[in-house]
DNA sequence: TATAAATGTATTATTAATAGAACAGGAAAA
DNA sequence: TTTTCCTGTTCTATTAATAATACATTTATA
């Protein structure tokens, strides 16, 4: 295939486009670890760019540890030692597999304070115009590597039952239930976004990197909002897994999410 | 905040990065329609770039109809008639809400052919080394606007039961069940990635835009792989929703995903 | 050992992106 | 009105990206 890369206005450079193209081919498994990828001249010809441009893309891939190059031999797709410890979260477990994370899990509390929440948060928590919330920003680490950036809003009346230190050491759910709140139901919405500078620094990725975005709102029995979470995850260190089972229902067959095995 | 954009090697140009950041802020709702965004000089200062660079990003946003500019007034975020129809998929519905999409849903078949699948796909489908698969690439549109880019692999023995035209008109699940396959269980994995050139063109987004990535493998009763799906979704037109209910189990309380209301 | 294929390195020229500055003109507010 | 803020326009200078080419070096292989 002789696809040709374009560059028009702020469309990203050719080398960047080629870099993305190759990176995607690797991380999607289309180019398996161990595979020898085409030579620089062949890539240059295939994509209608100069060899310099190909080299830039390959250098970026090398810097990320995705490929290995040897003069006289070629370029090989690396085995990925990084993705070895990918955290997975069953949908049902609102908490990621803490058990798997074990002792290596840690939390950094970046921000902690009270104030008026942004409008979107206030609406979803079903608060009145004046109700204040506690806002906290936390970064979770596994094996000292950050993988999630969590922004939570909790109504002030609930949040006063715990302090800054407790939030830095104890899962928020435990704190909420301890305070007497009866967690009842929740909605989650999953999307994708780009890392801005703050998040990029906290998670150790480049600005503009892709991140999994998850927004969760938890309600109590009365339908009052209890927690609003906006989570950003590094896709190379975190993944959301869902197992489904085909089941028979009243109106025909449908897909039933598997309940978590509470081990 | 004084975030600064970097450009190192093939990291995309600064104007492109700023364009993506602002676009994401708009389409995610962090900058609501009607909002006046900071002036060019302020943006230039905040992101540590020159005004020319800011203008490039804003010109690109204008071209996409995301912002409106008036001399003497400023730059406003447009009301988005496009994003009005965000498609949501309950986790339980493997098919997105076709009902909501109604008559306006359409499929474009971009590729169709048989061959040896990449290793990752072969493993997940539990195929032997020689087993061939049918590979198809489809783009789903709602109201003539593309929102998903689907790459599917189906083992040859199953795929021969339908042809190219049927795939372009009938949901794959229907074709599979028609062929006598008993769909039994599935695993899904959700992540995030960046748009490469092919996908960007098909979905009408810029190269480097964030996309929701979903990989699903469906198995039959015998545990044989039946379908391997790699789906990419535009986050501004598609979202994955999960509703959970706190339930009592043997080992304590846990979160139970809600079964779909099969309406 | 000679050859082919691959990466590494270097040079030059051209084009695009960026920075920094200046100035013109529209629109709102003191 | 005057001031202020914003976009629109134009200019120059600098830096980065790209193309095209040449040559050296490493490695496997015929």
Write out the DSSP string of B115-143.
Answer: EPPPHHHHHHHT--TT--EEEEEEEEEET
Angstrom distance (rounded) from CA B111 to CA B135:
7
Which residues from chain B sit within 8 angstroms of residue A13, using beta carbons?
Answer: 10, 12-13
Q: pLDDT-derived band of residue A95, with 50, 70 and 90 as boundaries? A: low
**Where in the sequence is the domain holding B54, given as residue range(s)?**
14-77
Res. A91: pLDDT tops 70: no
Share of chain A above pLDDT 70, in %: 82
Query: Are B257 and B242 in contact, with CB atoms under 8 Å apart?
Result: yes
Say yes or no: B99 and B146 in one domain.
Answer: yes
Asked if A254 has any chain B CB less than 8 Å from its own CB, the reply is: yes
Angstrom distance (rounded) from CA A196 to CA A193:
9
**Residue B8 forms part of a structural domain:** no
CB nearest to B256's CB, from A31, A92, A192: A92
Say yes or no: A75 and A205 in one domain.
Answer: no
Query: Are B173 and B94 in contact, with CB atoms under 8 Å apart?
Result: yes
Picking from B60-64, B88-92, B147-151, which range would have the lowest pLDDT averaged per residue? Answer: B88-92
Picking from A137-146, A219-228, B151-160, which range would have the lowest pLDDT averaged per residue? Answer: A137-146
Residue B132 belongs to domain with CATH number = 3.40.1410.10
Q: How far is B23 from chain A (nearest CA, A)?
A: 10
HSE, side-chain direction, 13 A CA sphere, residue A30: 11
CA A130 to chain centre: 32
- What is the tally of structural domains in chain A? 2
**Residue B54 forms part of a structural domain:** yes
Q: How far is the CA of A74 from the C1' of D8 (A)?
A: 51
B127 vs A26, more confident: B127
Range A143-150 average pLDDT: 90
CB atoms A190 and B240 under 8 Å: yes
Which of residues A80, A115, A132 is at a domain's end? Answer: A80
Picking from A101-105, A174-178, B128-132, which range would have the lowest pLDDT averaged per residue? Answer: A101-105
Say yes or no: B114 and B54 in one domain.
Answer: no
CB nearest to A185's CB, from B183, B245, B252: B245
Q: pLDDT-derived band of residue A103, with 50, 70 and 90 as boundaries? A: low
CB atoms A244 and B20 under 8 Å: no
CB atoms A28 and B197 under 8 Å: no
Range A22-31 average pLDDT: 80
Q: pLDDT-derived band of residue B55, with 50, 70 and 90 as boundaries? A: very high
Asked if B94 has any chain A CB less than 8 Å from its own CB, the reply is: yes
Query: Are B110 and B202 in contact, with CB atoms under 8 Å apart?
Result: yes
Res. A125: pLDDT tops 60: yes
CB atoms A191 and B212 under 8 Å: yes
pLDDT at A247: 78
Tell me the backbone φ, ψ of residue A200, rounded to 5 degrees. -60, -45
Angstrom distance (rounded) from CA A137 to CA A109:
6
Angstrom distance (rounded) from CA A203 to CA A146:
5
Range B90-102 average pLDDT: 53
Say yes or no: B20 and B119 in one domain.
Answer: no
Say yes or no: B94 and B201 in one domain.
Answer: yes
Which of residues A80, A113, A133 is at a domain's end? Answer: A80
**Residue B4 forms part of a structural domain:** no
Greatest alpha-carbon pair distance for chain B in Å reads 69
**Residue A7 forms part of a structural domain:** no
Residues in Cβ contact with A36 at an 8 Å cutoff, skipping those fewer than 6 apart: A74, A75, A76
**Residue B167 forms part of a structural domain:** yes
DSSP A103: G
Angstrom distance (rounded) from CA B127 to CA B130:
8
115-134 in B: which are within 8 Å (CB) of A?
118-121
Say yes or no: B143 and B106 in one domain.
Answer: yes
CB atoms B244 and A187 under 8 Å: yes
**Residue B262 forms part of a structural domain:** no
Which of residues A80, A95, A126 is at a domain's end? Answer: A80
Integer CA distances (angstroms), A263 to A89, A103, B28, B252, in order: 14, 17, 36, 11
pLDDT at A255: 77
Q: What is the mean pLDDT of chain A?
A: 83
Q: How far is the CA of A10 from the C1' of D7 (A)?
A: 20
Say yes or no: A59 and A95 in one domain.
Answer: no
Say yes or no: B91 and B70 in one domain.
Answer: no
Res. B115: pLDDT tops 90: yes
pLDDT at B207: 78
pLDDT at A43: 94
Interface test with A, best of B91, B186, B244, B261 (most A CBs within 10 A): B244
Interface test with B, best of A43, A50, A178, A192 (most B CBs within 10 A): A192
Range A158-169 average pLDDT: 93
Say yes or no: B98 and B72 in one domain.
Answer: no
**Residue A263 forms part of a structural domain:** no
CA A29 to chain centre: 19
Angstrom distance (rounded) from CA B164 to CA A51:
39
pLDDT in tens, B188-239: 889 999 888 789 889 998 878 899 999 999 999 999 999 999 999 999 888 8
Say yes or no: B167 and B132 in one domain.
Answer: yes
pLDDT at A220: 94
pLDDT at A5: 47
Say yes or no: B51 and B95 in one domain.
Answer: no
**Residue B39 forms part of a structural domain:** yes
The CA radius of gyration of chain B, in Å to the nearest whole number, is 22
Strand C: list protein residues with Cβ under 7 Å. Answer: A 7-11, 13, 39-42, 51-52, 55, 58, 69-75; B 7, 13-16, 48-53, 56, 70-73
Give the closest residue to C17 (Cα–C1′): B13
Q: How far is the CA of B114 from the C1' of C23 (A)?
A: 63
Say yes or no: A41 and A128 in one domain.
Answer: no
CB atoms B91 and A91 under 8 Å: yes
pLDDT in tens, B131-157: 999 999 999 998 888 999 999 999 999
Residue B41 belongs to domain with CATH number = 1.10.10.10
Res. B67: pLDDT tops 80: yes
Picking from A35-49, A146-160, B17-31, B94-108, which range would have the lowest pLDDT averaged per residue? Answer: B94-108
Give the closest residue to C27 (Cα–C1′): B72
A108 vs A204, more confident: A108
């Amino acid at each position: 295939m002789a696809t040709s890369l374009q560059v028009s206005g702020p469309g990203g450079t050719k080398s960047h486009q080629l870099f993305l193209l190759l990176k995607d081919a690797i991380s999607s498994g289309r180019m398996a670890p161990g595979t020898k990828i085409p030579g620089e001249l062949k890539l240059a010809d295939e994509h209608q760019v100069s060899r310099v441009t190909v080299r830039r893309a390959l250098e970026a891939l090398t810097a990320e540890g995705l490929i290995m190059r040897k003069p006289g031999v070629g370029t090989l797709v690396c085995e990925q030692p990084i993705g070895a410890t990918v955290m997975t979260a069953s949908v049902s477990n609102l908490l990621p597999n803490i058990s798997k994370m074990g002792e290596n899990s840690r939390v950094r509390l970046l921000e902690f304070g009270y104030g008026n929440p942004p409008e979107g948060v206030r609406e979803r928590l079903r608060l009145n115009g004046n109700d204040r919330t506690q806002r906290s920003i936390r970064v979770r680490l596994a094996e000292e590597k950050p993988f999630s950036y969590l922004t939570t809003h909790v109504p002030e009346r609930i949040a006063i039952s715990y302090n800054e230190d407790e939030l830095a050491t104890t899962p928020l759910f435990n704190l909420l239930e301890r305070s007497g709140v009866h967690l009842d139901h929740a909605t989650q919405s999953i999307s994708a976004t780009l890392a801005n500078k703050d998040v990029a620094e906290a998670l150790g990725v480049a600005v503009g990197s892709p991140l999994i975005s998850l927004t969760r709102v938890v309600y109590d029995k009365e339908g009052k909002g209890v927690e609003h979470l906006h989570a950003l995850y590094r896709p190379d260190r975190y993944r959301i897994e869902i197992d489904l089972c085909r089941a028979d229902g009243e109106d025909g067959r449908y897909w039933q999410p598997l309940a978590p095995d509470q081990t």
